[in-house]
């Protein structure tokens, strides 16, 4: 019986050799000062170039968009040059890579913000979570997130422009495309979800208003680099960092339907199996119906992520649940994951203590198959 997980597929201008994608994975190892990709980061991505498509770690579109220590950006000339080396290494191995565009919104801390200001959000309300900051000794520690400041209209317009410029920088850096991160409790997701958006202007209230910022960002980014090189990531039913929505079926159905107008490279949905890096034992039973609804609502290529194994990924593709499957933590410990899944070989186990920050250990020293 043919294994559809290893059949080719087209996304935008690219022909992918198979359907095992590498999910975006924050590793907090950008070079300092300046949050610039280093030769060690180049080697990390080069090792994993056998993925059908690499989606880079979340990459902040501006200094305001940073929320964790040692994460890379795409808003300075030095960062563009650093990412240029990454994309060149991936392409030299025959791989493809999209850069994920990121603004954390309220999930930040004054240590990262311009002039030490408060993080920004749709609404000024407490944030149930912590972020990875630097203490006075320069060590990475988990710190409380302060109550953010609500964005005004000029601030929102400036962020849309930051996304546009970041997309342009990504292509200048040799990336094959960009993925707009609109999930996991970060800025665009904060506007989408009713629990985190209490605005009364044109960016709050109705589903159409709460989706407005995402759609404006998509419009700006596609106009800059072409829709065939743009993707969007959503986390319907996600609860990370206080996310919740009163009517997720309607909210995300509306967004998926509206995204059809651009003919994007793909839509990336995260199953609610994980909350941050923790397995969620109580995910909402409505999810299965929602994913099937969104599969119908969105008429393009659909990528799913969230705790997949080789077997369950094969089933998802064969059953038409998705067109591509993104693997996260398995790619951390298995740089040659597609070969291991194809050959049904054993997998290395990831060292969770080295997920965020550190050196080459637990980053580029995992062995490939002989």
Per-residue pLDDT, 278: 52
State mean pLDDT over 11-36. 97
- Per-residue model confidence as pLDDT tens digits over 296-347: 999 999 999 998 999 999 999 999 999 999 999 999 999 999 999 999 999 9
Residue 129 has pLDDT above 60, yes or no: yes
Counting Cβ atoms within 10 Å, is residue 44 exposed (0-12), middle (13-18) or buried (19+)?
Answer: buried
Per-residue pLDDT, 136: 78
Better-scored residue on pLDDT, 17 or 1: 17
Please state, in angstroms and rounded to a whole number, the distance separating the CA atoms of residues 57 and 55.
7
- Per-residue model confidence as pLDDT tens digits over 90-99: 999 999 999 9
The token duo for 52 is 């059908």
Better-scored residue on pLDDT, 3 or 323: 323
**Active-site residue (options: 68, 163, 186, 366):** 186
- Per-residue model confidence as pLDDT tens digits over 63-117: 999 999 999 999 999 999 999 999 999 999 999 999 999 999 999 999 999 999 9
| Sequence-distant (≥ 6) Cβ neighbours of residue 162 within 8 angstroms | 61, 62, 64, 65, 75, 103
Q: Measure CA of the first residue to CA of the last residue in the chain; give whole Å.
A: 27
186 among known catalytic residues: yes
State mean pLDDT over 33-55. 98
Taking residue 20's Cβ as centre, other Cβ atoms within 10 Å add up to 28
- Per-residue model confidence as pLDDT tens digits over 262-285: 999 999 999 865 544 555 555 667
């Amino acid at each position: 019986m043919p294994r559809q997980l290893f059949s080719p597929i087209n996304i935008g201008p690219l022909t992918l050799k198979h359907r095992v994608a590498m999910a975006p994975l924050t590793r907090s190892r950008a070079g300092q000062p300046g949050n610039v990709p280093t030769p060690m980061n180049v080697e990390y991505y080069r090792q994993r170039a056998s993925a059908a498509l690499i989606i880079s770690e979340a990459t902040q579109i501006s200094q305001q968009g940073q929320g964790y220590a040692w994460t890379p950006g795409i808003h300075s000339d030095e960062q563009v040059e650093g990412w240029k080396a990454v994309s060149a290494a991936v392409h030299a191995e025959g791989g493809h890579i999209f850069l994920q565009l990121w603004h954390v919104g309220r999930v930040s801390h004054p240590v990262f913000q311009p002039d030490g200001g408060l993080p920004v959000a749709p609404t000024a309300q407490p944030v149930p979570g912590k972020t990875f900051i630097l203490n006075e000794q320069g060590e990475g520690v988990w710190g409380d997130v302060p109550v953010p400041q609500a964005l005004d209209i000029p601030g929102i317009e400036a962020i849309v422009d930051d996304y546009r410029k970041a997309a342009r920088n990504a292509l200048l850096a040799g990336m094959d495309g960009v993925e707009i991160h609109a999930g996991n409790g970060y800025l665009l997701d904060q506007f989408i979800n009713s629990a985190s958006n209490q605005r009364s202007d044109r960016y709050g209230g109705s589903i159409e208003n709460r989706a407005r910022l995402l759609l404006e960002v998509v419009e700006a980014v596609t106009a800059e680099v072409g829709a065939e090189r743009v993707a969007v990531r959503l986390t319907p039913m996600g609860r990370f960092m206080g996310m919740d929505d009163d009517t997720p079926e309607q909210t995300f159905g509306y967004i998926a339907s509206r995204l059809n107008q651009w003919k994007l490279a793909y839509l990336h949905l995260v199953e609610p199996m994980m909350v941050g890096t923790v397995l969620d034992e109580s995910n909402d039973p409505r999810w299965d119906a929602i994913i099937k609804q969104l599969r119908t609502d969105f008429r393009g290529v659909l990528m799913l992520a969230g705790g997949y194994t080789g077997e369950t990924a094969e089933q998802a593709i064969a059953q038409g649940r998705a067109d591509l499957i993104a693997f996260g933590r398995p790619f951390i410990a298995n740089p040659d994951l597609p070969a291991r899944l194809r050959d049904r070989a054993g997998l290395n186990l990831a060292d969770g203590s080295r997920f965020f920050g550190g050196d080459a250990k637990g980053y580029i020293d995992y062995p490939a198959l002989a």
